[in-house]
Amino acid sequence: MWNVDEPITALLLAEKAGDLVREKDASPHGIPQHVVSYHVGRYPVRLFLDATTGLPSAIEVTRVLQRANSIDLAYNAMGDLTDRIELMNYALFDGLRYPVQSDLFRNGVHLRTTVCNDLHTDAALEANAFAMPETSAPMSHVMLDDLVLGQPVGLAPDPKAPIEEIATGIVQIPGSWFSTIVRQDDGLVIIDAPISTGYSRKVLDEAARRFPGMRVKALITSTAFYWHVAGVREYAARGIPIYVRDRNVAVIRAMLDAPHTLAPDALATHPVAPIIRSVSKATTIGEGRNAIVLYPVNEGEQPMQMTWIAGAHLLHTGEMVMPLGPKGVLLQPESLLELKHSVEATPIDTDGLRMIGMHMRPTAWEMLLKTLKNTGV
């Protein structure tokens, strides 16, 4: 569907469309426009033509993004997306009238401006001008829901790391974004629902396989970055309570309320009222072994929450700690300092504490202190 964003292709597709319809004229920005609509596959397209010049002024397309790349992953949980490409500042290039500027608005929010400085038609190209790198080709046709557990989409600290029990009853699922299963006496708690609805189904299947007969009683969302919570709708559809940092509730609700008519998921086909539990202070989940206490990271620039499992001497740090530098160096000392201050404001015992997180297998707390010391803190 990317080629609909280009005005010449949009016109050619309109000419060939079997369902081309003229709609009522419109006046966006106060400028009279003729409007035609058609479909490309299942996706509806609207093409706006300036009533005076006859030139394309805007293209609207409703689409879903489902491929295994970072852009699609960021938006797939938002379901039906309305992209509007506004075209302006036409100029002559090799006798062709073409817009110098195009602005992309996604669901009404300005996302990108593109400027065309030069344009040539029928230009000679080298045979490999658009060749994809060998390393990226295998993922180019993979759909997000088809990823296997632990399969990296982008950067991963250890791409071949196995699913592993890191403490009694605590299982980490690695990849570009980790999920963690925590067994408690009365059920399972899952930390983080990244990537997609289909990926969440696989995480839930893995939880059922490893801990047969145990219900999933809670989902914890450490952050509200789209990559990290793109699978949250599957948990909502199953009536599983979702623990969300208070400042992130609006983002999660927007995902849960997003229309999914082009690619319906379980929540779209069988709507239920999501159970959202806002976390603004220390919040306990469960008792006994692997009891969990959630704490907001109050000093964090980005709203996150950390998960303390005292019995296992584990602290899930969200995305505050990222060993993604050369040879596992911890990145973003500012986030490390924010986390340190937040931990110091709690009863968390750091003696023998191990950190885990969205990108991290068990790592000693001393690694954070050493990194801060090396940066002069």
Asked whether the predicted pLDDT for residue 172 surpasses 70, the reply is yes
CA distance linking residue 295 with residue 293, whole number of Å: 7
Mean pLDDT confidence for 251-279: 97
* Beta carbons within 8 Å of 154's beta carbon, 6+ residues apart: 69, 70, 176
pLDDT for 376 equals 84
pLDDT for 137 equals 46
pLDDT for 69 equals 87
What are 347-361's pLDDT values in tens digits?
999 999 999 999 999
How many helices (H) and strands (E) in the chain? 9, 20
What are 137-152's pLDDT values in tens digits?
455 578 999 999 999 8
CA distance linking residue 305 with residue 222, whole number of Å: 5
Beta bridge partners of 60: 46, 84
Confidence of residue 328 (pLDDT cuts 50, 70, 90): confident
pLDDT for 128 equals 73
Would residue 200 be called left, alpha or beta, if left means φ above 0 and alpha means ψ between -120 and 50 degrees? alpha
CA distance linking residue 149 with residue 134, whole number of Å: 23
pLDDT for 132 equals 60
Mean pLDDT confidence for 322-331: 87
Would residue 166 be called left, alpha or beta, if left means φ above 0 and alpha means ψ between -120 and 50 degrees? alpha
CA distance linking residue 90 with residue 99, whole number of Å: 4
pLDDT for 129 equals 66
What are 285-306's pLDDT values in tens digits?
999 989 999 999 988 778 999 9
CA distance linking residue 86 with residue 266, whole number of Å: 34
What are 116-131's pLDDT values in tens digits?
999 888 878 777 766 6
Strands of 7-42, DSSP E: 21-26, 33-40
3-state secondary structure of 189: strand
3-state secondary structure of 121: coil
Between 261 and 300, whose confidence is greater?
261
Confidence of residue 326 (pLDDT cuts 50, 70, 90): confident
User: Burial code of 74-99, b = ≥16 C-beta within 10 A, e = fewer?
Assistant: ebbbbbbbebbbbbeebeeeeeeebb
Asked whether the predicted pLDDT for residue 135 surpasses 90, the reply is no
Confidence of residue 32 (pLDDT cuts 50, 70, 90): very high
3-state secondary structure of 257: helix
Of the given ranges (37-46, 262-271, 326-335), which has the lowest mean pLDDT? 326-335
Mean pLDDT confidence for 315-329: 91
Domains of the chain: 2-115 (no CATH), 144-374 (3.60.15.10)
Asked whether the predicted pLDDT for residue 107 surpasses 90, the reply is yes
